[in-house]
Copies of this chain bind each other. A is one copy, B any other.
Amino acid sequence: MFSRAFRSTPKSLRPLRTKARQFSSLDLIPDEPSGPSVKTEKVPGPKGVAASKEIDTFQDPRTHVIVPNYEQSSGNYLVDADGNVLLDVFAQISSIALGYNVPALLELAKTDEFAKAAMNRPALGSFPPVQWAEWLKTGLLTVQPKGLDQLITTLCGSSANETAFKCSFMAYRQRERGGPDVPFTKEEMDSCMDNHTPGAPQLSVLSFRSGFHGRLFGSLSATRSKAIHKVDIPAFDWPAAPFPELNYPLEEHVKENEAEEKRCLEEYEKILIESKSTRPVAAVIIEPILSEGGDRHASNNYFRQLRLIAKKHGAFFIVDEVQTGVGATGTFWAHEKWGLKEGEEPDFVTFSKKMQAAGVFHKKETRPNAPYRNYNTWMGDPIRALQAREMLKLIKSHDLVSHTASTGLNLASSFKSLFSSGAAQGKIMNFRGEGDGTYLAWDMASPALRDTFVGKMRNNGVQIGGCGDQTVRLRPMLTFGERHAEVLVGTVERVLKEL
């Protein structure tokens, strides 16, 4: 048991002399704690356990980690039911951009504009508020990926991906049909009501082994992370291509990694070709870093080739930035790094999580040819668009993407130094993500060791997350900086010694 701030600055955390370095989370969150404070022997403590037990009377609590007191949380620090103060580098599964109780956001929430938007929720597709264009043009549309000036808003990442799937299927069939003005046949209109071809076509979405795209029926068919997510659920017979299994650090294994990527690209193209005679691939979906599947990286060239090969075979290309988007990788969108040329942009970029708003950026050519083909009651939520607008303003005015890029470089350097020490030997491997902001990860020797590590980190005041089978992933907020890095690295170091 302890209750103090950790101040063991690793030598390798040398501050970079850049403008972005000057940001401190205290600029945005003046009352952020200076460090964690754990009061109970274990986390969760007795009050957290009791809270989960009460929830158990009506809802499954087996996935609970802690039961937070959000009202007392601040910035990068999450307070739990027992009053423990934890540095949170998991951030609600990577969905908090700036921190808890950021004063500027609480101010927004108290405005008349926000309150009225919250309590007068529109059916956006038919009754959009008179401020809708302004809210998006000064908000979400300011971060539209290059070449994608159309935006369909949704409520979550899964439905953003499924919306991109639907748009892809409609545009694919429209192309086959001969254009937007060629009418549907009576046979198509009749057969689709029975879920049969030709109206419900045998088309597919190609995804990648270990990819995660959501857990609704379409998105789950494209998800290939873990069997427990999929077993017993009917799925579309859609193809999966291998994702390169690279050796880390990437820069030390260039040659064999190139060969692995080449092998995977060939296999991918083979599937695209072979599918044409069975279930043609209307769309390919990929994450820039396979996140839930274990933080798996590939080269920019690999992703460029994926995109070009999809185009060659007439498949739309969807980049799922639900987890990678909004700056954590050191660029606003992770796919910016790929260096796609004009005309090679993705057809769709989906987002959610840290943006709080969710949706699909796309091109006008994939707008369905008739109204009501892409439609539902809410089609997003204006308050999340307002929240995103405010967060984007703060991200820009504080240059938080650059800040995260440089924080990430320093953090990677600290971890590399720590992980090359004796304390990490045989326990930690495949450290990765250097150059991708704070989107860092490493594997541990076994799934059990990973779980033990994550539990001990929590007991030592740091909420950290896992992914894949035995990976630890960092997903801090964009306000995470040097003072949090010190705590994080110091705690990892201490816990490694305990293992």
A170 on the interface (CB 8 Å rule)?
A: yes
Neighbouring B residues of A66 by C-beta, 8 Å? 127
Is A370's beta carbon under 8 Å from chain B?
Answer: yes
User: Could you mark each residue 315-327 of chain A with 1 if its beta carbon is under 8 Å from any beta carbon of chain B, else 0?
Assistant: 0000000000000
B367 touches A60 (CB 8 A): yes
Is A195's CB under 8 angstroms from B235's CB? Answer: yes
* Known A63-B372, A67-B130, A387-B119; contact A184-B227, beta-carbon cutoff 8 A: yes
Tell me, yes or no, whether A231 is within 8 Å of chain B by CB: yes
Note all chain B residues with C-beta closer than 8 A to A69. 129-130
Closest to A140 in B: B58
Bound Cα distance from A67 to B126, whole angstroms: 8
Which single member of B92, B150, B157, B231 contacts A121 (CB below 8 Å)?
B92
CB-CB under 8 A for A377 and B199, given A130-B51, A234-B236: no
**Which B residues are CB-close (under 8 A) to A194?**
240
Minimum CB distance partner of A465 in chain B = B126
Q: How many residues of A contact B (CB 8 A)?
A: 128
Closest residue of chain B to A156, judged by CB? B155
Contacting pair B151 A234 (CB below 8 A): no
Question: Are B217 and A218 in touch, CB under 8 angstroms?
Answer: yes
Q: How far is the CA of A110 from the CA of B372 in the complex (A)?
A: 35
Chain B: which residue is nearest A200 at the CB level? B235
Whole-angstrom distance between the alpha carbons of A157 and B379 in the complex? Answer: 12
A263 to B169, CA, bound (A): 37
Decide: A371 near B62, CB < 8 A? Known: A93-B126, A93-B377, A158-B376: yes
A58 touches B377 (CB 8 A): no
Known contacts A128-B55, A196-B237, A227-B192: does B149 contact A201 (CB below 8 Å)?
no
Q: Identify 26 residue pairs between A and B in the complex whose beta-carbon atoms are under 8 Å apart, listed by A's number.
A: A47-B130, A51-B128, A55-B132, A58-B133, A60-B152, A69-B129, A69-B130, A70-B116, A71-B116, A92-B122, A92-B127, A92-B377, A96-B120, A106-B115, A119-B387, A155-B156, A156-B377, A166-B215, A169-B234, A192-B230, A192-B235, A199-B232, A201-B234, A215-B376, A231-B373, A236-B236
Other contacts beyond A195-B221, A195-B235: 16, CB < 8 A: A59-B151, A60-B367, A65-B127, A95-B123, A95-B377, A101-B120, A110-B110, A155-B156, A158-B376, A170-B233, A184-B227, A184-B231, A188-B227, A192-B233, A195-B236, A200-B230
